[in-house]
Amino acid sequence: MRIAKALRVGLTTIIAIAVLVVILVWISGGFRSKIEPGSVAAESRRADGLTTDTVHAIIERETTEVVGTLKAEHRTDVSSKIMAMIADITVRSGDKVTKGQLLVVLDDRDLQARLAQAKKTVEAAQANARQTAADLERFREVLKAGAMTRQQYDQQEAAYKVAQANLEGAQQAVREAEVALSYTKIEAPTDGVVVEKHADKGDTATPGKPLLTIYDPTALRLEAPVRETLATNLHVGDMLRMHMDALDLEGRVDEIVPQAEAASRSVLVKVSVPRNSKMVEGTFGRLIIPTGERRRFCMPLSSVVRVGQLTFADAVTTGGVIERRPIQLGEHSEYGRVEALSGLKAGETVVIYGPKPPPLPPSLPGGRRVEGAQP
């Protein structure tokens, strides 16, 4: 009994091992035919009869944006030339003014009194001058008759000249008082818009202290601090693009301040802005400065072949044979084309497996151009 049981157990074990070996051999392909070692000819396809297109190089200008502020080219501070109390201010912030328009009225009572006094002084000087002139004429007749010495005549002549000088001084005082009185009416020196009001009625106006600020809204410039490395490539007269709110504009470089800011290592660049009623001083804007060029190799979207997670393109070699190449695509995709970051270069031919995109013109929006495009 024991011998028979041992034989059954041994036989079962041998059968199990044999079955396991057969399964392993089958999994490893032991029951399938093998290809003998040696060279195997690769399958080749030709592009005969297939639709193809060319990989184009689109040259784009690379740019950088610099933040700037819109400022007026002509900005005027209106101030008083005399010290006086402000009697009235006829405008407020935001008002449009024209050249010669009355803006500020100063208290002129002291100046009116000074002018009246100066006029009285002129009247007295005129009377004295007339009297000395008449006396001098009589002294001249007496001197001719020999009834007067030359010294007495010279004294009278000197008195006449002093009277004339006093008259001229009094008249000059009147003119000065009239000029000072004219300073009490402050007018707009130019057309523009009042942007700041620095004083109110009842305040004291002093020479040099601004009362109002006016700027010309028709002459605005975007002023932006540009890095030294970028500013060296800019010149007066260059045309640059600008972006302000929803406006895309182009302006001319009017001025490049020939001094760098030590803290920021930047140079102030001023670009004129085309006239636009929607823009006001102080508006935020971006100055777009070109920094170089980039070549993008663009292929038709319908030439992209996806196998699992891999991306390929079928390029046509010189002999018309199709060569499948792994490629890496970029984000740039328009005009029915997509950028190929690797695997292809400009001028190569690829097979199209869908609709053919329209031909590219030599130039594209944004100042871009296409190499090898037909005019």
* pLDDT value at residue 142: 78
Are 245 and 302 part of one and the same domain? no
Determine the average pLDDT of the residues in 368-373: 78
Does the structure show a pLDDT above 90 at 49? no
Residue 114 φ/ψ, nearest 5 degrees? -65, -40
Are 79 and 91 part of one and the same domain? yes
- Provide the mean pLDDT of the chain: 85
Q: Which domain holds residue 302?
A: 46-60+294-371
Determine the average pLDDT of the residues in 147-170: 84
Summarised one tens digit per residue, pLDDT across range 203-261 is: 999 998 999 999 888 888 999 999 988 888 888 999 998 888 778 888 899 999 888 88
360 found inside a domain:
yes
Contacts of 347 (CB under 8 A, 6+ apart): 54, 55, 57, 372
Determine the average pLDDT of the residues in 97-118: 90
Total tally of structural domains belonging to the chain = 4
116 found inside a domain:
yes
Q: How many C-beta atoms surround the C-beta of residue 310 within 10 A?
A: 9
36 found inside a domain:
no
**Confidence class of residue 316 from pLDDT cuts 50, 70 and 90?**
very high
Where a domain ends, among 162, 183, 204? 183
Does the structure show a pLDDT above 50 at 39? no
Are 113 and 174 part of one and the same domain? yes
Q: What is the CATH number of the domain that holds 232?
A: 2.40.30.170
26 found inside a domain:
no
Distance CA 57, CA 347 (A): 8
**Confidence class of residue 41 from pLDDT cuts 50, 70 and 90?**
very low
Determine the average pLDDT of the residues in 135-162: 80
What burial letters (b/e) apply to 163-175, b meaning 16+ CB within 10 Å? Answer: beebbeebbebbe
Summarised one tens digit per residue, pLDDT across range 54-86 is: 999 988 888 888 999 888 888 888 999 989 999
Residue 194: closest CA among 75, 23, 361, 290: 75
Say which range, 46-50, 125-129, 232-236, 370-374, has the weakest mean pLDDT. 370-374
24 found inside a domain:
no
Are 288 and 310 part of one and the same domain? no
The amino acid that residue 273 corresponds to is V
How far are the Cα atoms of 64, 222, 228, 285 from residue 67, in angstroms, in the given order? 10, 9, 15, 6
Does the structure show a pLDDT above 50 at 42? no
Are 313 and 339 part of one and the same domain? yes
286 found inside a domain:
yes
Determine the average pLDDT of the residues in 23-40: 63
Q: What is the CATH number of the domain that holds 367?
A: 2.40.420.20
Does the structure show a pLDDT above 80 at 19? no
Are 243 and 177 part of one and the same domain? no
Does the structure show a pLDDT above 50 at 40? no
Q: What is the CATH number of the domain that holds 92?
A: 2.40.50.100
**Of residues 13 and 212, more confidently modeled:** 212
41 found inside a domain:
no
Are 241 and 348 part of one and the same domain? no
pTM of the model: 0.55
